[in-house]
Amino acid sequence: MATPNAAPTARPALPVRLLGLLLAGAAVSVALGVYSDVHDPTGEQTYTLFFTATINFKVWFATVAVFFALVQILTAMRLFGKIHIPRQVPRWLGDVHRLSGTLAFGFSLPVAYHCLWALGFQSTDTRVLAHSLVGCFFYGIFTVKVLSVRSHGLPDWLLPLVGGATFAALVVIWTTSSVWFWTEFGFPSF
């Protein structure tokens, strides 16, 4: 999406662009939230791979997503000089950063699919409510993150803020699902 910008001055004003980003993210989150509430949850067991049941599959796929998100955060911190290990930035670090983010997203999709399709938005207790809300928020803030990376001339604080929020949301989602699951039903529950 590297649209060559012949005339940088032709870009809309910054507040307009920020508002655009915000609206794009909000649209995704709200769409998922409405869908998960309106769609009749099928209760279907979609897939198990080699796990005991769909839920175990989800617990572990979410965990892999968090692992890649961690790689993503650490590589970002190195790229922006917040940490200094390794001392020299390898040439391929930027690509590792992109790859880890892409994989984290990829591993999250089948999990989210089962949540949205088979379970739906639920508010039976605080954990479930928080999980439902933050789950919808996640893909919205992720959208903002991807669009921000692809845009130029945005303020310096935007990317760390949005990236950090994306990571934080994923950790909340994972804590209210995978970690909760292990505390209830035992680790590792493949």
Distance CA 136, CA 4 (A): 33
**What's the helix, strand, coil split of the chain in %, to 5?**
70, 0, 30
Minimum CB separation from another protein for residue 184, in Å?
7
Minimum CB separation from another protein for residue 28, in Å?
10
Distance CA 142, CA 181 (A): 25
98 touches another protein (CB under 8 A): yes
| Phi, psi (degrees; rounded to nearest 5) at 152 | -115, 160
Site string for another protein, 22-51 (x = CB under 8 A): -------------x---xxxxxxx--x---
Question: Of residues 59-88, which lie at the interface with another protein (CB under 8 A)?
Answer: none
Question: Which positions ≥6 away from 82 have C-beta within 8 Å?
Answer: none
Alpha carbon separation from 71 to 90, 102, 104, 132 (Å, rounded): 15, 11, 9, 25
185 touches another protein (CB under 8 A): yes
Residue 170 in 3-state DSSP? helix
The nearer residue to another protein, 18 or 118, going by C-beta atoms, is 118
How many residues in the shown chain lie near another protein by CB under 8 A?
37
Question: Which positions ≥6 away from 72 have C-beta within 8 Å?
Answer: 97, 100, 101, 104, 163, 167
Q: Which residue has the tokens 């929020």?
A: 165
56 touches another protein (CB under 8 A): yes
- Residue of the chain from 24, 64, 99, 171 that contacts another protein (CB under 8 A): 99
The nearer residue to another protein, 19 or 53, going by C-beta atoms, is 53
Question: Of residues 124-143, which lie at the interface with another protein (CB under 8 A)?
Answer: 124
Minimum CB separation from another protein for residue 190, in Å?
10
102 touches another protein (CB under 8 A): yes
Residues that bind another protein (CB under 8 A): 35, 39-45, 48, 52-56, 92, 95, 98-99, 102-103, 105-106, 109, 112-113, 116-122, 124, 181, 184-185, 189
